[in-house]
Amino acid sequence: MKNIKYLKPLSPLQKGDDNMGVLENKGAIEYSKGLEGVIAALSSISAIDGEQGKLIYRGIPIEMLAKHSTYEETAYFLLYGELPTKSALDEFVAEMKELRYLPKRVEECILELPPNPHPMDILKVAVAHAGLYDPDQLESCREGVMRKVIRIIAEIPTIIAYYHRARTKQEIVPPNPNLGHAANFLYMLHGKEPDPEEARIFDIAMILHAEHGLNASTFAAMVTASTLSDINSAIVSAIGTLKGPLHGGANERVLKMLDEIGTPDRVEEYVKNALMEKRRIMGFGHRVYKTYDPRARILKQYAEKLSDKYGDRKWISIGEKIEEMMIRELGKKGIFPNVDFYSGIVYSFLGIPRDLFTPVFAMARSVGWAAHVCEYTQNNRIFRPRGYYTGPDYVEYIPIEQRR
């Protein structure tokens, strides 16, 4: 036993020792719960200033992209590292349109899937399934990998829309080559061309959700890809990770909470009780932002706009009241609205069912996932952190008949 050097604390961790322990044979060593503050990779894709509430994609502020860009252009920019020329963008858009169609077997399978599972689980299954029919499956050259990536990004909206149409017993609506990525999704979902203003709002929401550094789902994709597994497996890992309520699953729960509260005058009591019971208010707080999330600021404007357009201010007025109270109560702790707080109101006015909010997040974020996987694997090293062993050094094995 003498020569074995386990990475373990000298004495059991005490409360307050959460981020630091003295390790046998290693001296003082830091560990970071939830990897907070750990730099796990170099990246030139995006950066967040969590103190000032700023987000840039490859140097361009998110506000500028939301104002001037399209989802397709932003996707190209994130994936290839430069803004496309007019002809490069036309080519990219045409490629995305061509790749929107699902393999026949995948389409048939979606039509037969049960109507009850959460659509994030359907998305996981369908992306994995579609990978089996990917003609570029075995490609490892840059163009082949890019084509696989663009195919997944183009297929995800079709998977979500087809599944929704099938589970609600409506005819599926094939992609419309005259429409852009965001507008085409709304078209396939609703079976009619969307109002151009609403299609643009959805396009902006997609830009805002496209990328966000080494968040949990992107990191999950990178971990999978760092083993030199395939891109479909990496995206499936990311989808499973985004589903959780502490990550992408929060948007769906925000609307549930707004409905539960019902009217603005009930906000005070609801939030007070939730905080007293140590329950989280969904759509608030962030590991990196300690101020207002810039994406939430933009989405709030569109939530306002759509509320006025539809003459229905119920959700926005409850939302604003929650925001006011949360900032008053927890602002000093750095808790502010995040991207998920107002996105659900926007999506609801666009006619997107609640359980599709997180799949729609995945649809946008697929670009960020792919961009990070491509960037990281160009200079790859497998992710393999260490655990901090807190168990005993040696325990005698007791045969089962002697155990009590």
Q: Kindly state the smallest distance separating residue 34's Cβ from ligand CMC, in Å.
A: 5
Q: Give, for 55, the enclosing helix (H) or strand (E).
A: strand 54-57
CA–CA dist 155, 134 (Å, integer): 11
Task: Give residue number: closest CB to ligand CMC.
Answer: 285
First to last CA, the chain: 27
Set 181, 203, 340, 372: catalytic member: 340
What single string gives the DSSP state of each residue in 257-285?
A: HHHHH-SGGGHHHHHHHHHHTT---TTB-
Question: Hey, what are 11's tokens?
Answer: 């004495």
Question: Hey, what are 173's tokens?
Answer: 């609506």
Residue 403: how many other CB atoms lie within 10 Å? 6
Residues in touch with ligand CMC (CB under 6 A): 34, 215, 246-248, 250, 280-287, 333, 335, 338-340
Residue 130 or residue 345: which is nearer to ligand CMC going by CB? Answer: 345
Classified as helix, coil or strand, 360 is helix
Q: Kindly state the smallest distance separating residue 285's Cβ from ligand CMC, in Å.
A: 2
Q: Kindly state the smallest distance separating residue 274's Cβ from ligand CMC, in Å.
A: 7
Q: Kindly state the smallest distance separating residue 205's Cβ from ligand CMC, in Å.
A: 13
Catalytic, 340? Answer yes
Residue 287 or residue 297: which is nearer to ligand CMC going by CB? Answer: 287
Contacts of 334 (CB under 8 A, 6+ apart): 285, 289, 290, 291
Set 118, 190, 247, 312: catalytic member: 247
Catalytic, 190? Answer no
Classified as helix, coil or strand, 104 is helix
Residue 255 or residue 282: which is nearer to ligand CMC going by CB? Answer: 282
Residue 89 or residue 275: which is nearer to ligand CMC going by CB? Answer: 275
CA–CA dist 208, 65 (Å, integer): 8
Q: Kindly state the smallest distance separating residue 145's Cβ from ligand CMC, in Å.
A: 26
Residue type, 389: Y
Question: Hey, what are 129's tokens?
Answer: 């399934």
Sort 310 into a burial class: Cβ within 10 Å, 0-12 / 13-18 / 19+.
exposed
Set 164, 209, 286, 372: catalytic member: 286
Residue 164 or residue 295: which is nearer to ligand CMC going by CB? Answer: 295
Residues known to be catalytic? 247, 286, 340
